[in-house]
Amino acid sequence: MVKEIERAGIPVVHICTVVPISQTVGANRIVPAVAIPHPLGEPSQPAQKEKEIRRKLIDKALEALATEISEQTVFE
Amino acid sequence: MRLEIGKIPIHDVQFDSTSRIEGNILYLNQEELKAHLMVDENIKSITVEIARPGDSTRIIPVKDVIEPRVKVSGRGELFPGTLSKVETVGEGRTNVLKGTAVVTTGKIVGFQEGIIDMSGPGAEYTPFSKLVNVVVVCEPIEGIDQYTHERTLRIAGLKAAAYLGNLAKDIVAEEVETYETYSVKEGIEKFPNLPRVAYVLMLQTQGLLHDTYVYGVDMKQSLTTIIYPTELMDGAIVSGNCVSACDKNTTYHHLNNPVVEDLFKKHGKELNFVGVVITNENVYLEDKERSSDWAAKLVDFLAVDGVIISQEGFGNPDTDLIMNCKKIEAKGIKTVIITDEYAGRDGASQSLADADASADAVVTAGNANMVIELPPMEKVIGHKEVADVIAGGFSGSLKADGSITAELQVIVGATNELGYNKLSAR
Amino acid sequence: MSKIRVVHYINQFFGQIGGEEKADHKPEAREGLVGPGMAFQASFKDKAEIVGTVICGDSYFNENIEAATEELLKMIEEFKPDLFIAGPAFNAGRYGMACGSIAASVKEKLGIPVLTGMYKENPGADSFKSKVYIVSTRDSAAGMRDAIKLMAPLALKLALGEPIGTADEEGYIPTGIRVNLFEEKRGSERAVEMLLKKLKGEEYTTEFPMPDFDRVEPSPAVKDITKAKIALVTSGGIVPKGNPDRIESSSASKYAKYDIEGVEDLTAEEYETAHGGYDPVYANQDADRVLPVDVLREYEKEGKIGKLHRYFYTTTGNGTSVANSKKFAISIAKDLVADGVDAVILTST
C-alpha cells in the first residue's frame, strides 16, 4: 500500500512492528512500532505514559516525513 | 539472397612440406604460412602450433578464433572490407573447413583475453576444445600503439584463416547446405501464413578490444542497419573484441551464428526468417537511445511478428538489451532475449544491471562469475602469466603448479550470448 | 539405517493452544508430533520420525526474535535432530516470518538441513527464500495436504543429502540463487522454440524471471510540517463499531473511508478493529493504539501539524493479496491527491 501512495507523489511514513516486512514491500520511510496488536500503544503502562510513547512515535514519524531521503530509511 | 555452404570435414592438421587437403587431413607448410603473415611490417615473430582435442594444452591469451572458409562462386571474398575488397557477399557457394580453426594468441597490449583448454574441466565450457586448432602466436614489433597492435593481430588471424581456406577452393564438397532469404514481397507471397521473424544482433562497440567491424566499418560509428544472414557466413562481421572472453563473439561465432542457423532450420516451415538487424552497444546514453530506437523502427518496418535479440557482453550493454526489448515489445512485436548472468560467485546477486517487465522471455547462457579450477596443462601456448590479469582471473589465480582458479569469464565463449552452448542457469 | 530424527516447528494455532489471543505464547517443546506433524509422519512412513515439536506464538516470536530464537534453538538441539521442518505457514505473515527465521537460524547454528513452506506472497517467502528451501503452498490451511505431499519427500531428500532439482521440479519457491547447468539444447535453439511458443500464445518458461525492481523513489520531504495536511491510513482494520462496511477480517476485498471531523479520540464505545490477524483486545480498548487520532488532534491544536485530514482510510492487511492491496492503495492515493493531502502516516499491525 505504501508504494502506491508514494508513487502518487505523497510522502508516506510506515509505522509498523515487523520492519523487515515493511522493507520487503518497499516502504521508504519506516518507523518501528511497539508491538503488533498495539503499534502505537503500550497497555501495560499507565494512560499518561502510554500517550507519551505514542507522541514520541508520532514525533518520529513527522521527523521522517520532513527528512529528505534517497533510499529506504528506518527512523529508529 | 541464396548461399550454398560446402562442408569439408577436417579430422586432423599436420605439418608437411606442402600445404594441401587430402581426404580429411589438412597438411600445412608452416614456413609458407609464416612468410604469408610476416609481410606485415608490424609483426616481429610468428610461430604456429597445433592444438588437438584431448591434448594437455592451454592456449592463453586468446585474441580471436576464425574458421577457414573460401568463396567458390559468387561475388566477393571472405572478410570483405577488412581483408578483401568491399563487395557484397552472401551469394553463390562458400567452402568451409569443418572441425578446424585458426586461433590467434600473443601478448596483447597487456590487456585481458581468454583461455582455451583442450582437455580437462575447462574444455567442457568452450566449443573450441572440440576443434583441431592452428594456433598462430603473433608478436608485434616494439613501440607500436595499442590500436595498431590490435589491428595487426586481427588481420593476421583473418589472413591465416584465408590461407587455409584457399586450400579448399577447388574441392567439391560432399555435403552442401543451402540458405536462402527472400525479399519482403517474395517472403510474404511464399509463406503467407507463417509468422515473420527477424533477428536483432547486438554487437559490442565500446572501444579498444571491445569493437566489431562490419564490411570494415567500425560498428560504433554506424547506425543500426539490416544485413542478410548469409552475409555473416561470408565474414561480413569480424570480431575485434576478446575481453571477458566468455561472452564475446569471436569471428568463428559470427561465421557460425547459431541463432541464424536455428532460425533457418525452421525457415519456411514454422516461421519466415526475414533477416538480421545489426545494432551497436555504444558507451553514450544518447547512442543507446538512438540505436535502440532504430532497431525497433527497422523491425517494425520489416513487419515482423517476432524477434530474437542477442546481447554481447554485460554491464552497460544490459541497458541496450533492455532498451531494444522494451521498444520492440512496445510495437506489439514479441521478443525473446539471449543474455548471460553476473550473479556473483555465490549466484546470489542481481544477475543483470538492468531489467524490465517486458523482458518476459529470456534465455540465459549461465552465470559467468562461477568459479572454476583449471588444472595444470603439460603445454601452454601463449603467455600463462596473464592469467592473473585477464578479466575473471584474480591475483593469485595462477598457482605455482600452473593451475588456475578463476571465474568462468576467462574461458573463451563459455557463456556466449548468441546461444552457441548448452550452458544455462536457473 | 536408523530413522531420520525430525523436529517440527509450529505456531500457537497449529499447536492447538489457541488463536490470536494466544499469539504471545512463549516457546514450548513437546515430545513427538503435534497437529500437522501427524500428516508429515504418515508421509515419512518409517524413513523418518518426528521426535519433537516446538511451538511458539506468532506475536511472541516476531516481537522477541532474538530471545525466541535462542530459546527455540536450545529446545531443538536437545532433540538431536537430523532434519528441521517449520510450518507450513500458508499466507499467515507473522507465522511465515517466524518459520523462515527459525529455519534459517537452525540451518546456520545447528548445521542440519531445514525446510519450510508457505504461500508465495507471504512476506516470509521473500525474506528467507535465498536462505532456506521454502515449498510453495496455497494461501490457506486448506492446502495442507498438497503442501505435505511436496514437503515430505523434499525434506527426506535434504536429510539424505540427495541432489535437489530445480524449483519447478521440487515445488519450492525459486531461491534467487543462480546455479549453472547444462541443457539438452543449445541456447539459440531454446530461444527459437521459446519465440515460436510466445508467438502462438502457448505457455513457455523464461529462464530468468525479471527481478522485481518495483521500488518507488522516495517522495520529497514535507517542507513545512506545521502547515501540512496529514492523512491517516491503516491496514490495522480500525472501523466504527459494528464494522458498517463489513470489511473482511482477513483477505480483505475492500477498504473503507470514514469521516473523523470533530472526533478527538477513538473511544472503545465508537471504534474497534475488524482485523483478524492479531489480538483485537488492545485495539478495541483504545483504537488510538493503531490509529493515533488523539495525538494528531493534539498536534493540530498545538500547531505542530497543519491539519489532520478529515477522512481516514482503513482495511485489513491480514492475508490480503498484494494485488488487492495495490488496487486499494491506487484508489486511496487518487482520493488523497484530489483532497490536497501533503503526507500520509500509514500504520500496520
**How high is the pLDDT of residue C321?**
60
Compute how many other C-beta atoms are within 10 angstroms of the C-beta atom of residue C211: 11
Residue bearing the bigger pLDDT, A20 or B331: B331
Strand partners, B15: B28
Q: Which helix (H) or strand (E) holds A15?
A: strand A12-16
Q: What is the pLDDT of residues C123-154, one digit of tens each?
A: 999 889 989 999 999 999 999 999 999 999 99
Cβ contact B57:B377 at 8 Å: yes
Task: Write out chain A residues lying below 8 Å of C325, CB-based.
Answer: 1
Say if residue C244 is in the same domain as residue C130.
Answer: no
Give the domain CATH number at C44: 3.40.50.2300
- pLDDT category at C216 given cuts 50, 70, 90 is confident
Of C174, C184, C187, which is closest to B338 when you measure between CB atoms?
C187
Q: How would you class C162 by CB atoms within 10 Å of its CB: exposed for 0-12, middle for 13-18, buried for 19 or more?
A: exposed
Residue whose cell numbers read 519450492:
C172
A36 and chain C: CB distance < 8 Å anywhere? yes
- pLDDT category at A24 given cuts 50, 70, 90 is low
Cβ contact B138:B106 at 8 Å: yes
**How high is the pLDDT of residue B110?**
47
Task: Write out chain A residues lying below 8 Å of C216, CB-based.
Answer: 3, 6-7, 26, 28
Q: Which helix (H) or strand (E) holds B289?
A: helix B285-301
Least confident window among B336-345, C60-69, C316-325: C316-325
Residue whose cell numbers read 473503507:
C256
Query: Grid coordinates standing for B23?
Result: 581426404
Compute how many other C-beta atoms are within 10 angstroms of the C-beta atom of residue B25: 15
Say if residue C247 is in the same domain as residue C154.
Answer: no
Chains touching B by CB (3 or more pairs below 8 Å): C
**How high is the pLDDT of residue B393?**
62
CA-to-CA separations, C251 to A3, B266, C37, in angstroms, rounded: 19, 48, 26
Please give, rounded to a whole number of angstroms, the shortest distance from the CA of A46 to a CA of chain C. Answer: 13
* ipTM over the 0.90 cut-off: yes
Nearest CA in chain A to C229: A10
- pLDDT category at A42 given cuts 50, 70, 90 is very high
N-terminal to C-terminal alpha carbon distance within chain C: 48
- pLDDT category at C14 given cuts 50, 70, 90 is very high
C178 and chain B: CB distance < 8 Å anywhere? yes
B289 and chain C: CB distance < 8 Å anywhere? no
With a pLDDT cut of 90, the percent of chain C lying above it is 79
Cα(B413)–Cα(B249) distance, integer angstroms: 7
Cα(C80)–Cα(C59) distance, integer angstroms: 27
Question: C154, C170, C186 — which closes off a domain?
Answer: C170
Q: Could you tell me the residue ranges of all domains in chain A?
A: 2-74
Please give, rounded to a whole number of angstroms, the shortest distance from the CA of C212 to a CA of chain B. Answer: 8
**Inter-chain touch A15–C345, beta carbons under 8 Å:** yes
Cβ contact B307:B202 at 8 Å: no
Report angle CA B412, B414, B420 to the nearest 5 degrees.
105
The domain tally of chain C equals 2
Say if residue C265 is in the same domain as residue C117.
Answer: no
State the virtual CA torsion across B88, B90, B93, B98 in degrees, nearest 10: 120
Q: What is the mean pLDDT of each run of 10 residues along chain B (426 residues)?
A: 97 97 96 95 94 96 96 97 95 98 81 83 97 95 86 94 97 96 94 97 87 94 97 96 89 98 97 97 86 97 97 88 95 97 82 85 94 92 70 67 86 96 94
Residue bearing the bigger pLDDT, B232 or A22: B232
Cα(B153)–Cα(B161) distance, integer angstroms: 12
C203 and chain B: CB distance < 8 Å anywhere? no
C175 and chain A: CB distance < 8 Å anywhere? no
Say if residue C54 is in the same domain as residue C149.
Answer: yes
Secondary structure (DSSP) of B113-163: -EEEESSSGGGGG-GGGGSEEEEEEEEEPTT--HHHHHHHHHHHHHHHHHH
Given a cut of 80, whether residue A23 has pLDDT beyond it is: no
Nearest CA-CA partner of B104 in B48, B171, B27, B187: B48
Residue whose cell numbers read 519457491:
C173
**How high is the pLDDT of residue B107?**
77
**Inter-chain touch C216–A69, beta carbons under 8 Å:** no
Given a cut of 60, whether residue A25 has pLDDT beyond it is: yes
Nearest CA in chain C to B341: C178
C321 and chain A: CB distance < 8 Å anywhere? no
Which amino acid is present at A13? V
Please give, rounded to a whole number of angstroms, the shortest distance from the CA of A76 to a CA of chain C. Answer: 15
Q: What is the pLDDT of residues C219-257, one digit of tens each?
A: 999 999 999 999 999 999 999 998 898 887 766 778 999
**Strand duo B371-374 + B404-407: pairing:** antiparallel
Cα(C114)–Cα(C312) distance, integer angstroms: 43
Given a cut of 50, whether residue C26 has pLDDT beyond it is: yes
Catalytic residues of B, which ones?
242
**Inter-chain touch A5–C97, beta carbons under 8 Å:** no
This prediction has a pTM of 0.70
**How high is the pLDDT of residue B390?**
58
- pLDDT category at C319 given cuts 50, 70, 90 is low
Which amino acid is present at A8? A
Which amino acid is present at B176? V
Please give, rounded to a whole number of angstroms, the shortest distance from the CA of A13 to a CA of chain C. Answer: 5
Nearest CA in chain C to B356: C210
Cα(B12)–Cα(B31) distance, integer angstroms: 19
On the CB side of C7, CA atoms within 13 Å amount to 29
Q: Mean pLDDT score of chain C, rounded to an integer? A: 92
**How high is the pLDDT of residue C323?**
65
A33 and chain C: CB distance < 8 Å anywhere? yes
C319 and chain A: CB distance < 8 Å anywhere? no
**How high is the pLDDT of residue A37?**
84
Count helices and strands in chain A by DSSP H and E runs: 3, 3
**Inter-chain touch C219–A2, beta carbons under 8 Å:** no
Say if residue C242 is in the same domain as residue C124.
Answer: no
C130 and chain B: CB distance < 8 Å anywhere? yes
**How high is the pLDDT of residue B111?**
44
Residue whose cell numbers read 483486545:
C281
Three-state SS letters, chain C: CCCEEEEEEEECCCCCCCCHHHCCCCCEEEECCCCCHHHHHHHHCCCEEEEEEEEECHHHHHHCHHHHHHHHHHHHHHCCCCEEEECCCCCCHHHHHHHHHHHHHHHHHHCCCEEEEEECCCHHHHHHCCCCEEEEECCCHHHHHHHHHHHHHHHHHHHHCCCCCCHHHHCECCCCCCCEEECCCCHHHHHHHHHHHHHHCCCCCCCCCCCCCCCCCCCCCCCCHHHCEEEEEECECEEECCCCCCCCCCCCCCCEEEECCCCCCCCCCCEEECCCCCCCHHHHHCHHHCCCHHHHHHHHHHCCCCEEEEEEEECECCCCCHHHHHHHHHHHHHHHHHCCCCEEEEECC
Of A6, A17, A66, which is closest to C216 when you measure between CB atoms?
A6
Cα(C62)–Cα(A37) distance, integer angstroms: 12
Nearest CA-CA partner of C59 in C49, C70, C68: C68
Say if residue C252 is in the same domain as residue C342.
Answer: yes
Cα(C16)–Cα(B398) distance, integer angstroms: 61
| Chains B and C make contact, 3+ CB pairs within 8 Å | yes
Task: Write out chain B residues lying below 8 Å of C196, CB-based.
Answer: 195, 266, 270-271, 306
Q: Could you tell me the residue ranges of all domains in chain B?
A: 2-410
Cα(C217)–Cα(A26) distance, integer angstroms: 10
Please give, rounded to a whole number of angstroms, the shortest distance from the CA of B229 to a CA of chain C. Answer: 15
**Inter-chain touch C216–A28, beta carbons under 8 Å:** yes
Say if residue C33 is in the same domain as residue C159.
Answer: yes
Chains touching A by CB (3 or more pairs below 8 Å): C
**Inter-chain touch A14–C348, beta carbons under 8 Å:** yes
Q: Which helix (H) or strand (E) holds B14?
A: strand B12-15
Domain extent, residue C244, equals: 225-347
